[in-house]
Amino acid sequence: MNWRNIFSGLAEDADTYWDSVIQRVQEELKASTIYVQPYLSYGTAQAFYIRGRVLEGEKIRAATDEDTPWENLAATYHRFESDEVANAQVQITIGDEVHHAVTDREGYFLTQVTPPPNFTTEAPDHPLWHEVTLSASSSVDNHLPNELLSDQTTTRVMVPPANSNFGVISDLDDTVLQTHATSLLHMARLTLFHNARTRLPFAGVAEFYQALQRGPQGKGSNPIFYVSSSPWNLYDLLFEFLAFHGIPHGPLFLRDLGLRRDLLGSAGHHSHKLAQVEHLLGVYPNLPFILIGDSGQEDPEIYQEIVQRFPARIMAIYIRDVSLDKRDSEVDSIIEAVGKTNVTMVRVPDTVAAAEHAAQRGLIDPATIPAIEAGKRIDKAE
């Protein structure tokens, strides 16, 4: 008897039941406000992938430097107590074109739409980002008292120019954002009592990722994607964190917190990241990629599997060393195995070491190294 599968099935059933209870309570309370939470999206000259979530209630306000730990805790509670709107009708407007999507039972939508006529990525001045307008209405079968309309909001779709040098796929936790994911207590304290302005990036990350986006000539618009096992409930915090610290924005690929039996535990973490990286390699079949992660969880193992499946697609892999010495030998064994496929994986102590290697490989402009070193000094001082 597989007790894990039994528990997972019961948890998933309980999650579904709880959603129905919440919707009935909403009906009784006559809830009257819905809104679209837009997620940064991505695409190509052939297809845009538009995603977001429709929620009921009040939006979470932006963080400030004066927020107390208790105000941050209240905001965290608000994020995880979110009331999703199932079966909402989402209208997506791109120029003169209008498309539609329907939210799932957790309020999420992800739809593939056709770009406007004559859309091209070949122009020398092709912008990396393109604006899309979103709005939503609730449907009659989602237990809300009346049909509700959201205000219009906008999001952006990242479409790499045809002359992009490469794409970057980066982890977030303990790669960009100091999370201490190997310490549950420390990670919980940061998540519960801090905000986008008080959470800290690793030193020099903003300058390094800016250099990667600009490429070896310093003038490019290379796309950056962030893949994390953090839940979608933290999207607004992560989006605001990147903006506040000057780290280039890119689409985030997070996880649904719903208790699905295939996404529990480390197996879910591994399969989620692997699936998202494979998806991006499929969406951009002609674009090579740089992978960035950390040694604390399973990034080396996941990236090794990617290299085994797509050896010609990966230009370099950078692994930030955040783990104890006993983990180093495991990572070094993976590095050695990956090296036999002619793909370089490097375990680095800090951002500057990764940047110096990238400059030597012709991935970034060497002239950016002083700024990355200065960024590290500033971050250390703060």
pLDDT digits over 308-333, tens only?
A: 999 999 999 999 998 877 789 999 99
Q: Report the chain's mean pLDDT, rounded to a whole number.
A: 86
The full set of domains in the chain, from first to last, is 3-158 (2.60.40.10), 167-381 (3.40.50.1000)
- Report the pLDDT value the prediction gives residue 264, as an integer from 0 to 100: 44
pLDDT in tens, 179-238: 766 666 767 777 788 888 988 899 999 999 999 999 999 989 999 999 999 999 999 999
Question: 170 pLDDT exceeds 70?
Answer: yes
Give me 138's structure tokens. Answer: 């609730």
pLDDT in tens, 77-133: 888 888 899 999 999 999 899 999 999 999 999 999 999 988 999 888 889 999 999
Question: Beta strand 34-43 with 153-158: parallel, antiparallel or unpaired?
Answer: parallel
Query: What number is the average pLDDT over the span 128-157?
Result: 80
- Amino acid making up residue 105: R
More confident position, 14 or 127: 127
Query: What number is the average pLDDT over the span 9-23?
Result: 56
Highest mean pLDDT of the ranges 137-146, 273-282, 368-377:
273-282
Residue from 161, 31, 39, 141 nearest 89 by CA: 141
Query: What number is the average pLDDT over the span 157-171?
Result: 97
- How far, in Å, CA of 209 to CA of 130, rounded? 21
More confident position, 302 or 71: 302
Give me 221's structure tokens. Answer: 């618009």
Question: Beta strand 224-231 with 129-137: parallel, antiparallel or unpaired?
Answer: unpaired
Query: What number is the average pLDDT over the span 252-265?
Result: 66
| pTM, to two decimals | 0.86
Highest mean pLDDT of the ranges 6-15, 20-29, 165-174:
165-174
- Report the pLDDT value the prediction gives residue 272, as an integer from 0 to 100: 94
Question: 268 pLDDT exceeds 80?
Answer: no
User: How many other C-beta atoms lie within 10 A of the C-beta of residue 315?
Assistant: 18
- Report the pLDDT value the prediction gives residue 18, as an integer from 0 to 100: 55
Give the dihedral of Cα atoms 118, 121, 122, 124; nearest 10 deg. 120
DSSP string, 39-105: EEEEE-SS-EEEEEEEEESPPPPPP-TT--HHHHHHHHHHHHT-EE-TT-EEEEEETTEEEEEE--T
pLDDT in tens, 20-36: 545 554 444 444 689 99
- Amino acid making up residue 373: E
- Report the pLDDT value the prediction gives residue 192, as an integer from 0 to 100: 83
- Report the pLDDT value the prediction gives residue 100, as an integer from 0 to 100: 95
- Report the pLDDT value the prediction gives residue 183, as an integer from 0 to 100: 61
- How far, in Å, CA of 304 to CA of 311, rounded? 9
Question: 262 pLDDT exceeds 50?
Answer: no
- How far, in Å, CA of 263 to CA of 282, rounded? 22
- Report the pLDDT value the prediction gives residue 375, as an integer from 0 to 100: 77
Highest mean pLDDT of the ranges 57-61, 264-268, 358-362:
358-362
- Amino acid making up residue 123: A
- Report the pLDDT value the prediction gives residue 259, as an integer from 0 to 100: 46
Residue from 178, 237, 195, 235 nearest 69 by CA: 195
- Report the pLDDT value the prediction gives residue 9, as an integer from 0 to 100: 56
- How far, in Å, CA of 195 to CA of 78, rounded? 13
Segment holding 288, helix H or strand E: none
pLDDT in tens, 342-363: 999 999 999 999 999 999 999 9
